[in-house]
Amino acid sequence: MTYRIVAFAGSNSTQSINKRLVAHAADVLNDSVSGGVDTDLLDLNDYEMPIYSPERQAAGIPPQAQAFFDKIGNADALLISLAEYNGSYATAFKNIFDWCSRIDMAMFQKKPVLVMATSPGLSGGQHVHGAAMGAFPFYGADVVAGFQFGPFGEHFDVEAGCLTSDDKVAELQAAVEVLKAALDGKRTT
Ligand SMILES: Cc1cc2nc3c(=O)[nH]c(=O)nc-3n(C[C@H](O)[C@H](O)[C@H](O)COP(=O)(O)O)c2cc1C
């Protein structure tokens, strides 16, 4: 059985550093699981829709929200790396979060999740990471591990597509191992 992983950055930037980080984490997971994993790296631009409002909800759930919700539902685990805007979620993610939570408040559908965050600055996404680690369990996420990456440029070599610090390599590997253990615990075949 090959695990189906849904990975995404909480960003709609085409140059997203969080997308680079989450893609790298997916590679690390792939290398850690015998037989590899099947990763679907989502782009939040594919799920752009009107900003949530109760009146719009009354008119119906947008197909983009349902599609995102269904992607989560079909996954065995989630890898998420969140961009930090003004100490919180980027709007592109928050809008999807709000819409999907109206389909089902437990929108993460009990999936094991590794929650990451990075930013260019010294705080390295710690605020949005803390927010998500606290909040996601209330929305049905089985948050098995967190990885607050810190300042992206200090620890990530963009050209090589890998981490530059041994400490971060070890931290990410440890987080991935926890996710892998959660997946193996749910293996049915
Ligand atoms: C509106 C706005 C607000 C931001 N606020 C923060 C912030 O509070 N903390 C931070 O570390 N970086 C902040 N940044 C910088 C982002 O972390 C940076 O643009 C980062 O590249 C976003 O992640 P992404 O590349 O994955 O989209 C902000 C950027 C924008 C455009």
Residue 7 pLDDT: 98
Amino acid at 17: I
Task: Encode pLDDT of 103-126 as tens digits.
Answer: 999 999 999 999 999 999 999 999
Assigned token pair, 48: 């752009």
In a 13 Å sphere around the CA of 46, the CA atoms on its Cβ side amount to: 11
Pocket of ligand 1 (CB under 6 A): 9, 11, 13, 16-18, 83-87, 119-121, 123, 125
Q: Ligand 1: distance of its center to the CA of 84 in Å?
A: 5
What does the mean pLDDT of the chain come to?
96
- In the chain the first and final C-alpha atoms are separated, in Å, by 7
What is the DSSP-derived secondary structure letter of residue 11?
-
Q: Which atom of ligand 1 is nearest to the CA of 13?
A: 27
Q: Does the pLDDT value for residue 188 go beyond 50? A: no
**Residue the block writes with tokens 């992206």:** 152
**pLDDT for res 46:** 98
Ligand 1 geometric centre to CA of 171 (Å): 23
Q: How far is the CA of 166 from the centre of ligand 1 (A)?
A: 25
pLDDT of residue 133: 98
Q: How confident is the model at residue 186 (pLDDT cuts 50, 70, 90)?
A: confident
Residue with tokens 């979060």: 97
Q: Whose CA is nearest to atom 14 of ligand 1?
A: 85
Q: What is the pLDDT at residue 189?
A: 44
Q: Convert the pLDDT of each residue in 21-40 to its tens digit.
A: 999 999 999 999 998 999 99
Residue 81, pLDDT score? 98
Sequence ranges of the domains in the chain: 3-185
- Residue with CA at minimum distance from ligand 1 atom 3: 85
- Residue 59 alpha carbon to ligand 1 centre in Å: 33
User: Is the domain 3-185 a CATH 3.40.50.360 member?
Assistant: yes
Side-chain half-sphere exposure of 138, counting CA atoms within 13 A: 6
Query: Is a pLDDT exceeding 60 seen at residue 187?
Result: no
Q: 83 alpha carbon to ligand 1 midpoint, in Å?
A: 6
Interacting residues of 88 by C-beta distance below 8 A, sequence separation 6+: 94, 127, 128, 131
Which of these ranges, 10-19, 77-86, 103-112, 153-162, has the smallest mean pLDDT?
A: 153-162
User: Which residue lies with its CA nearest to atom 29 of ligand 1?
Assistant: 85
* pTM > 0.95: yes or no: yes
Q: Residue with the nearest Cα to atom 27 of ligand 1?
A: 16
- Note the pLDDT tens digit of each residue in 156-173: 999 998 999 999 999 999
